[in-house]
Structure 1
């Protein structure tokens, strides 16, 4: 073949290089969309956002970030790092198409229906597609030498597989026990735990070590260290158990697990920093990998603090800590890790616009993490809220889509450089139409079957709920709630001093999850609450929240709607009375009426 013909083939839309570019661009596009949705969520405490429900946007953001960006980019990094021929890459064509279809389906269903028939169908389709990725990647791994990088990738794909067991268990558990049962929460946490701490952490570490190994740097990773890492992954699930159903044994297991994890990470980080010193790398790529390593060390250090049960409880009851930790893994460890490798491998062009976009990402991540962990610590210490906290968090989060936008401009406009073709390269146009049609029909067929299977879930869940209500353990429907407060003297008007005291407590402990209008944030808005709930119910909900969520029918319904358990803030009845007075004043100002529930 003539040189001119070779040059033309390298620019064919179906070439391996073009396929890789399409894969990376799709992952970046989903990351950009997830960042925009996240920015919209940050705007909820600041402005009235019409048409969209916060909870639905939260589900959309988490699915697109975790699956559209995280899964797609990490799986692509593994595929294009290990594939030795175009024939191997062709095996992933239909899987890639099906994955994109499932993610697009989630993107266009979750914002409007939350968890519903279509969104569940597309989510389930993505799980099935992930099994295809696991099978094909496992086949590639069998041909590789058992180096530390390959062993980590193997652990990563097994973690991906194990994480999905929680999703398949979720349906039967919800039908039999209800959505709010502790086992239902544990199923969700099972998926998230093995996704973040297994699939993503092990996957990006494996890719980094494979890059070092291909650059000539090798190191020894003893078998006992691998077993230590695996044991720590399994045992740290105990923290999720304590979140759903606190028990002394779970706290003790978690304390042991985080110590084992810290030791296991120590060996890996020691090898990683040694590789960063010895392997010649692009400066920007080296910086990003260093940030990924630092993020992993911070993750391990923060979790090491959870050996104290009191700190472990704080870690999942203060929302800022939960969000900050999730971002530390997904953005700090996984995203910076794969971005560093993409720059090093020239999957992202090392140009000025790329570096500028990455610096925006670094700044947005750093500022938002400082705000989240800083404000979480202030809440823990009962020192109130930072001035303009929500404005600052919105501005910091705005740096992320700006950076991603610059990256997308760069990758969508730069010309693909001439590269050596992968050995045994064949034309991707061969049977392209057949592949694409079969992938599309397969994906749509699976979606329709899953949608049909989901058709009776709502009725079954409702029947389960009715059955639970009719049982001897049925939740109380007393309009005054459950607790020591049986009557409240509201007086003849608003007590301004008491209302001011209540506002100070609300500003310090409540505004992270509740707005003063009627819009839902994490929990429902405060506007109109005194017109819907009796004052005794409100005070009991504040001072006796755990019992109320377990036994009060109204509180349980709110928990089912919000899917986030309200933490016990250890407030006194006097504190709660001040909050009630502030709520009465807020309703008088915003709703034009207060205390309608008493009349």
Structure 2
């Protein structure tokens, strides 16, 4: 009986140790999600209120994206993987050390990016995170190899492989930036390489693999041959073409992307169909709130694939990367929708995350924030595409809807800390049990020793006839030194002379405002504040009218050849899309910018003087 009791108590202690590691990982993951949501809220406040001059939008943007991907996303996925596949206590101690290093790296990025953007400290902490992820991948692949081979483990293995492949883009930006400069298309392609294979490779494969594995341990099989697997891999490679077209708009890339998204949709169908049939028979909305969270995650993944299928039409694909709302909405659909709710529901089902009324309201708030913001972002993008202007108070409503994210995360984090306190009490109890177990072991050992000693003594006495004598980089290098080119104040393009007329033409300015509202205000504000791109205030006093109109109508050539446009691109690190604006429409925009400058600064056209 004592032996049975010892075995049970040892197993209980190991279970608590495993749960403690996982809860710690999830606690930090949710904490960084909260930080990313607050940074995102601050970014949206830029459009509705005033912020301190010392706070730069692009620095907040870099901090938000890094903490969301490398804090929340990375810790969520790796925490679930360790929870699911690693039980050995020695291995758990190793992963605990890696978790400690990952947390420190994320805290470093959280503190440095808002202050300096890409700089010495932020790049150092990003590189540390990257190196830790290599160590994690190396050790986890060894642990994964011990599991029974299945579709789930196969997809998880390739999730890690794609994570490693995505990092090639980070290492590439250093030599490309040093030799070709940060304005070269290869530089932007390297950044897009990292983002594409992180989102659609590392995170999506991990989600698909975990869902498949969950089915398999319940006795369901997913027929997924090598041919089907390579169709999935091939689709991932081909869909990178759309990301390339963002910086290098070549018609043939759209065809490559079209083939990729069709193959991807087929592969997703093969993997998700068995899971949906088992989890959601008849496609009915489940009664359980946890299953509804899972439903939202799966719906987001299916919607992602459906949107990508629509991109087989070249004009639609052009719109997708030209309208910034669509880009943001799509990234959120993958990261917030599919990954957060898909893996979040898995964590709740397996008690990786706590389940209570507090947790329920937290996830409800997250879901509400996600649905409202996606409707606003994608809806506004559609209005821009349809040339129907902006929703009234769009940015205000977007800001208010985003408040639901930190509210929900605070509730979830509070519940995690509550469970953590309970777990600490359990650990103390288990420690007492462990001490008692050790006493039992010592007693048992003493008894065994006495019996053995007696037996040895008896043997000696018989023989002698009596007697007795114990695991971006994220690195942004300085531009290559190039021969300085003399800038033409009129820019590069066919517009060499502009007749401004007398005063402001109100009819032209009104038409120009409508176009600016539709195509420009997602990246530019009418004041002097920089968001994605520079503010419009004072532009007619800094640039000649010909330069402004050439920048609007001939943006690709301007970014390639005009030194002033290149300097702006290097400063903003976001390539202005070609929105195919006609010369007539660009003249209307110019007139509106003249009127805006006159109203805000009291002067205009100073560049002509």
Normalised by the length of structure 2, the TM-score is: 0.87
2:588 aligned with 1:578: yes
Give matches, 1:517-528, under 5 Å. 517-528=527-538
The alignment partner of 1:109 has SS state of helix
Give matches, 1:174-189, under 5 Å. 174-189=177-192
2:543 aligned with 1:540: no
Post-superposition Cα deviations, 1:473-513, rounded to whole Å, max 9, x if no partner, equal x5x51011112222223334223333222222212221111
2:361 aligned with 1:356: yes
Unmatched tracts of structure 2, length 5 or more: 436-470
CA–CA distance in structure 1, aligned partners of residues 589 and 573 of structure 2:
23
Between 316-325 and 245-254, report the one with greater CA deviation.
Answer: 245-254
Q: 1:38 to 1:296 in 2, by over 3 A?
A: same
Q: Is the 8 A contact 1:239 1:254 kept in 2?
A: yes
The alignment partner of 2:606 has SS state of coil
Q: Is the 8 A contact 1:109 1:118 kept in 2?
A: yes
The alignment partner of 1:91 has SS state of helix
Give matches, 1:367-406, under 5 Å. 367-406=372-411
In the alignment, what sits opposite 2:441? Answer: none
In the alignment, what sits opposite 2:235? Answer: 232
CA–CA distance in structure 2, aligned partners of residues 426 and 40 of structure 1:
49
By how many angstroms is 1:11 displaced? 9.2
In the alignment, what sits opposite 2:576? Answer: 566
Q: 1:537 to 1:146 in 2, by over 3 A?
A: same
Q: 1:272 to 1:489 in 2, by over 3 A?
A: same
CA–CA distance in structure 2, aligned partners of residues 199 and 305 of structure 1:
23
By how many angstroms is 1:286 displaced? 1.8
Give matches, 1:3-42, under 5 Å. 15-42=17-44
CA–CA distance in structure 1, aligned partners of residues 108 and 530 of structure 2:
25
Between 223-232 and 516-525, report the one with greater CA deviation.
Answer: 223-232
CA–CA distance in structure 2, aligned partners of residues 301 and 53 of structure 1:
36
Q: 1:488 to 1:57 in 2, by over 3 A?
A: same
CA–CA distance in structure 1, aligned partners of residues 323 and 514 of structure 2:
18
Q: Is the 8 A contact 1:91 1:136 kept in 2?
A: no
In the alignment, what sits opposite 1:496? Answer: 506
Post-superposition Cα deviations, 1:357-391, rounded to whole Å, max 9, x if no partner, equal 10111111111111111111111121111111111
CA–CA distance in structure 2, aligned partners of residues 277 and 516 of structure 1:
49
CA–CA distance in structure 2, aligned partners of residues 220 and 574 of structure 1:
58
Normalised by the length of structure 1, the TM-score is: 0.88
By how many angstroms is 1:138 displaced? 0.2
2:511 aligned with 1:511: no
Q: Is the 8 A contact 1:282 1:343 kept in 2?
A: no
2:58 aligned with 1:55: yes
By how many angstroms is 1:352 displaced? 0.8
2:78 aligned with 1:75: yes
CA–CA distance in structure 2, aligned partners of residues 426 and 581 of structure 1:
79
By how many angstroms is 1:587 displaced? 1.5
2:547 aligned with 1:529: no
How many residue pairs end up in the alignment?
561
Q: Residue 287 of structure 1 is aligned with which of 284, 287, 292? A: 292
Post-superposition Cα deviations, 1:152-210, rounded to whole Å, max 9, x if no partner, equal 10110001110001111110011111101111111111111110001100101212222
Post-superposition Cα deviations, 1:290-345, rounded to whole Å, max 9, x if no partner, equal 22211111111111111111111111111011001100110111111111011111
CA–CA distance in structure 1, aligned partners of residues 491 and 162 of structure 2:
43
By how many angstroms is 1:597 displaced? 1.2
Q: 1:556 to 1:217 in 2, by over 3 A?
A: same
